[in-house]
Amino acid sequence: MEIKVCIGSSCHLKGSHRVVEGLQKLIEENGLSDKLDFKGAFCMGLCQPGVSVKIDNEVFSVKPEELEEFFEKNIKAKI
């Protein structure tokens, strides 16, 4: 599974660094580092209400405060 977090300016303002740090921590805590390809990406052209996170070919809009729920539902459950 490939995960890309947008670090473009609009997503940066919405907390992309918190999403990156939070995801790194959750991935480590759950021992998933070797199952995921985790990267940063530039603007995906889909500046949304939250931070754009692309999982394989699907783009999600993630708010830093909802990260844990997002991780459980869209990453952990699908591995």
CB 33 to ligand FES: min, Å: 24
CB atoms within 10 A of CB 30: 15
Q: Between 9 and 33, whose beta carbon lies closer to ligand FES? A: 9
Residue 55 interacts with ligand FES (CB under 6 A): yes or no: no
CB 14 to ligand FES: min, Å: 8
**Helix locations, the chain, DSSP H:** 9-13, 16-29, 67-70
- Tell me which of 26, 32, 36, 47 binds ligand FES, using CB under 6 A: 47
For 8, the 3-state DSSP assignment is coil
